[in-house]
A and B are shown apart, each in its own frame.
Chain A
């Protein structure tokens, strides 16, 4: 899969991104500690590619996504973005005002379509907002035409534009959210769990829509999700995050079937597969995800890792390329043979 994009330029390159949230306490709200939500994350996305960001809750995947769009200001690091004029700018270094014109190039699809639409605005105003504030499209009629176009693009009837969000179902709302994201012809779309709040029977519609739009408009997706089968279906490459760090990064098939990090392996084998004949004979991971406010020493995964050695508690491993386009953060990545998602033929054979 990754070959398809290897000759494309990078659209986004994130370097050593950090986001620490201060913990305050007391009468004068003094800083007493830090939550390292995103802790030195680096990756890149090529044009037209879909990169998945997976991990369990609290691993920092959503914070990473939001920091890239500067919805949250990063603590440290660079967010290099190639603009439509083929210039590379560091989003992390720009002020709120300087970044505003760049917003037309990057947009977001949110997880909860009930929270991400202002209940007090109708669809025309919601979808038309970016047109009004960035494109300065003051003429209402012109805006209506564009909104109608967008609604049709996402499979909604343009006549609905006078309606308020409460008149729509979850799936329809998510289409509205997508329409708003596409209003300014963005090139990068960050999708933060776009289908996890939707009913199963509606998820496929939205996933198909996003795929179609990618082909039609040449979009690049950063796809944040925790549902592994959705990620497998949708992404070309995957970054696995654990406690604010990327532990493994590689092509989708490699991550799913030949993981090289013990955490990825545990995550993949824990995925509930909709096939009663593949009842995972897994040894589930013991313990819980540590708090990013107080992570363990050395490799953050060592307290739960079945392969942990003395070294793992002392030294922090670095992200290392062990195969083309396949990076792993583990001291023993070369020595371990790990299991990915169970394959049907393996199960049937045994």
Chain B
């Protein structure tokens, strides 16, 4: 008897499961029909479209992509996003704390920050800052402020946010507080972003150039060039990177201008960073050289340069973009690290490493913990680039399945 009941229960459970699955498959069927209309689009979709379709499915990478776009805007227009002159120090206003932006005032969207009042502590003789809730400084968009150059083309004084015209000296706003010398950290971070991220980008660009060129020669021609380039890579990779950077940067003359050190550092990072990429490109060439479609092109009478640029390079350029994206954060961290140690860029240049150097002093961190915020910028940037790179890499090869 009990067996019967068990089997009945089993059967019911199975039927329920069945119904679920039928519903599921019907839903899928409906979706499938939607997709069938797109099928014709898929048939004529070139590679970049397939890549984009796949990339779109990767939500986190999409968000990271937006972060990176924002970063790119900051790199191009740091002045526009700053509120105050990053180089101007105000001895009276050192270690001013973060002034948080409040968006809602009396139930309406009217962003403002509270004012600050300073009082000198009679015992320590140190300025102590307090938020003054009595005083509201309204924030305006596209406000006029200090003058800055846009891409070296023209000067303007329009900023994304600011206070009422001419008010900035009276009512300065310090979105991320100030440092020891009373310089606005937010604006310094914007300018630091430009320097650090662009160093990363340019050095990766140079690495990619060297890597593709040398890796391509190595992989396509093989033989003696391959032998020489591979041994060179092995030697470069066997050198410990950090001491080499330190030695090279330490060897830079102290009297070099900011621009000179900037380019020197970029070059140093690139000269050491191209090896991984060259190996990757070489590997791709070695695989592709044996592909039937490459042989078919050769048999169709295609010249060597046509085979390389029309057939081989397009099949891995998406991988190169992905690899390069993953290499940018490494470069950024290297620059930050060198500057932090005082070996890279030095003040008055502003970079993330230089900013973090300010936070080297334990005492200032105890008084002004906001000095560590540039570190957060480094983390966000590196994470965003890594996730984006991963997403690109996964989407890059629609033919892997």
Contacts and interface: CB of A to CB of B under 8 A. Distances in A.
Do any CB atoms of chain A lie under 8 A from CB atoms of chain B in the complex? yes
Interface of A: 27-29, 66, 69, 71, 100-101, 103-104, 107-108, 110-112, 115-120, 122, 129-130, 133-134, 160, 162-164, 166-167, 177, 180, 183
Given A103-B299, A133-B300, A133-B301, A162 B44 contact: yes
B13 to A, nearest CB: 40
Nearest to B50: A166
Given A129-B302, A133-B302, A133-B303, A164 B43 contact: yes
Contact of B292 (A29, A116, A122, A163): A116
Contacts of A133: 300-303, 306
Contacts of B292: 110-112, 115-116
A117 B293 contact: yes
Nearest to B399: A119
Interface of B: 42-47, 50, 227, 231, 291-293, 295-303, 306, 311, 314-315, 398-399
Nearest to A192: B292
Most buried by B among A28, A112, A167: A167
Nearest to A109: B296
Contacts, number: 80
B311 A164 contact: no
Given A107-B299, A166-B398, 20 more contacts: A28-B227, A71-B298, A103-B300, A104-B301, A110-B296, A111-B292, A115-B292, A116-B293, A116-B296, A118-B293, A118-B297, A118-B311, A119-B47, A119-B315, A119-B399, A130-B300, A133-B301, A134-B300, A164-B45, A167-B42
A122 B44 contact: yes
A130 B47 CA distance: 22
B297 A120 contact: no
A171 B130 CA distance: 78
A164 B299 contact: no
Given A118-B311, A129-B302, A163 B43 contact: yes
A28 B230 CA distance: 11
A28 B398 CA distance: 38
Contacts of B50: 166
B296 A29 contact: no
Contacts of A118: 293, 296-297, 311, 315
A133 B46 CA distance: 22
Interchain residue pairs A-B with the least CB separation, the first 10: A167-B43, A116-B292, A134-B301, A130-B300, A115-B292, A118-B293, A163-B43, A103-B301, A120-B47, A133-B301
16 contacts: A29-B227, A69-B299, A103-B300, A115-B292, A116-B295, A116-B296, A118-B296, A118-B297, A119-B47, A120-B315, A129-B300, A133-B300, A162-B44, A164-B47, A166-B398, A167-B42
A160 B303 CA distance: 27
A164 B44 contact: yes
Contacts of A28: 227
B301 A130 contact: yes
Contact of A180 (B300, B311, B398, B399): B300
A180 B301 CA distance: 12
Nearest to B318: A120
Contacts of A71: 295, 298-299
Nearest to A186: B299
A81 to B, nearest CB: 14
A103 B45 CA distance: 31
